[in-house]
Amino acid sequence: MLTELSIRDVVLIEALDLGFGDGLGVLTGETGAGKSILLDALGLALGARGDSGLVRHGATQAVVTATFDPPAPDAPLTALLDDNALEIEPGEPLIIRRIVKADGGSRGFVNNQPASAGLLREMAPHLVEIHGQHDERGLLNPRGHRALLDIFGRTEPGAVSRAWGVLRAAEAELAAARAEIETAARDREWLEHTVGELTTLSPQPGEEETLAETRRSMQRAEKIADDLAAIDEYLDGSDGGLAKLRQAARVLERIAGDHAALGEALAAIDRVVIEGALAEEHLRDARAALSYDPRALEDDEARLFELRAMARKHRVQPDELAALADEMRARLERLDAGEGGVLVLETRVKEAQKDFDAAAAALTTRRLAAAAKLDAAVAGELAPLKLDAARFRTVVAETEEWSAAGKDRVEFEISTNPGAPFAGLTKIASGGELSRFILALKVALAEEGGASTMVFDEIDRGVGGAVASAIGERLARLARTTQLLVVTHSPQVAARGAEHLLIAKSNDGIVTRTGVRTLSEAERREEIARMLSGASITDEARAQAERLLETA
């Protein structure tokens, strides 16, 4: 509920502080007194466009502060504040402040915390409903009719919302699987060729290093083969060094006893022969290790070059070819298995669609029942508002734009004369008729609960007498359950107010100002008399005003 409205330097308002109570509050004043300025100021606090033209001439900025009762902990508004990291202490009033600079630009605050105009607009529907003949954001906007019908009929779309979420998730998963298969299918020929190539090559981890080391060894053996052959000739054979030494040893054996030095010479030769034999053994080992087959070297090099070429082709290291082959085979397997997976996902989507269809159908049934109930409630309000020939209906029809709210399009339609076709509220009703339709609809909807604060801007325009009395009675009834502020030119409506605010313009010869003040009982009587008689208030008008106040 709106409890206070503070306005500084907005158009003709220099400084104004208003307090609001429960029930029906009426705002009256002569034409041009500035009633629209008051609503513009409230709209500014609720996120309306911050036009610098609203700043009072000579002022640097305009400031509007609106104070509301603390939001309930479980209210959607509280969740919205939490989502935007705006902290409101439990039980603390909600204070919205909007500043508009004379040179352009605006700033918003929620309990002294910065808030964008967009956020203020999001908060506005949770705080105040503003209804007028040209307010297409409210009851005249078909986009909001479904939500209004759901509130009226208490048709909670939770089951539909959950089913819709499951359906959308299943559809997304299916679409992703199909896209993956489509991509893989385009690559199937390449995958099959690559897997065949790698399978034929059969690369092994570490194979490239082993082949390279073997190749290096065989290349070294090739280089020293001639040297080893020459050493063989020097050491081995009948003319080799060791053979000559052995022959010398045999000769020395016959004469070694003739002199000690010959014996030592024989011993030395024996040692040399033994070392030579050891050298021959090492040479045999080296020759065996360094031996190579030219064909084997050729095969080794061919394999090595083939591995390296394949690695370059796939832009991996040779040791990664084995893993690449496994990956390619796995992709082919997934492609083959993917079609079966798609079938599973398609079944899941069909089941989710079936569940959504069932939930949406049940919701449609509840909405149709609520629509019939709403139509009857509105019809009961039309006759007292002198709309006897008019008919109202709530159209519930399937739309192609399914959503978490179901499959239904909801629109309120009217027919103002017998035999006339039904159409949208704004298309066939005159200004006076439209205002009464809005009131009838709002009264019917409000009886099932609604916003805590509503503003009706001259909703009684173009009517008078008994119709104005009926409007006043219904506004008073509506105000029993919600705070209601009404800008009115009707004395019958004004007389119903629990609180009466007078908007008046004053001029000191230099500056024109708009002011608002709460009227006493005597002042109320005088204001209603003015509304009845015009500029010249007569005793008869005062008497009639008294009767209106007594019967209100």
518: tokens are 């709460």
506: tokens are 């004053």
69: nearest Cα among 85, 90, 53, 84: 90
- Contact of 371 with 396, CB cutoff 8 Å: yes
In b/e form, how buried is each residue of 215-238, taking b as 16+ CB within 10 angstroms? bebbeebeeeeeeeeebeeebbee
Residue 136 pLDDT = 46
- Residue 141 sits at φ, ψ, to 5 deg, of -95, 110
| Whole-number Å distance between alpha carbons of 437 and 385 | 9
* CA geometry: angle 263, 269, 273, nearest 5 deg: 145
383: tokens are 């006759």
Three-class SS state of 187: coil
388: nearest Cα among 412, 415, 413: 415
337: tokens are 């298995």
- The rounded Cα 97 to chain-centroid distance in angstroms is 27
Q: How far is CA 165 from each of CA 151, 176, 177, 278, 352, rounded to the nearest angstrom?
A: 22, 17, 18, 87, 9
345: nearest Cα among 539, 175, 104, 161: 175
402: tokens are 């399914």
451: nearest Cα among 44, 19, 138, 195: 138
Residue 431 pLDDT = 59
Residue 115 pLDDT = 93
* Whether the predicted model's global pTM rises above the 0.85 cut: no
φ/ψ region of 30 (left if φ > 0, alpha if ψ in -120 to 50, else beta) reads beta
144: nearest Cα among 440, 380, 459, 438: 438
- Residue 74 sits at φ, ψ, to 5 deg, of -100, 15
Per-block mean pLDDT, blocks of 10 residues, the chain (552 long):
92 88 88 76 89 88 94 87 89 93 91 93 86 58 85 87 94 87 76 88 87 80 73 72 81 83 86 84 75 75 88 89 88 72 88 95 95 92 84 92 92 86 73 73 68 78 79 86 88 91 81 85 91 83 89 77
Q: H/E element holding 532? A: helix 521-533
Q: Angle at which helices 241-255 and 260-289 pack, to 10 degrees?
A: 160
315: tokens are 């832009």
The residue assigned the tokens 């030395």 is 268
- Contact of 159 with 363, CB cutoff 8 Å: yes
- Contact of 157 with 404, CB cutoff 8 Å: yes
| Whole-number Å distance between alpha carbons of 121 and 44 | 10
Biggest CA–CA distance in the chain, Å, is 178
- Contact of 31 with 96, CB cutoff 8 Å: no
| Whole-number Å distance between alpha carbons of 224 and 204 | 31
Residue 238 pLDDT = 66
- Contact of 117 with 50, CB cutoff 8 Å: yes
Q: How far is CA 541 from each of CA 33, 132, 181, 527, 537, rounded to the nearest angstrom?
A: 22, 29, 85, 10, 6
Q: How many CB atoms lie within 10 A of CB 122?
A: 16
Three-state secondary structure along 34-59? CHHHHHHHHHHHCCCCCCHHHECCCC
291: tokens are 């031996």
Three-class SS state of 154: coil
The residue assigned the tokens 């205002």 is 435
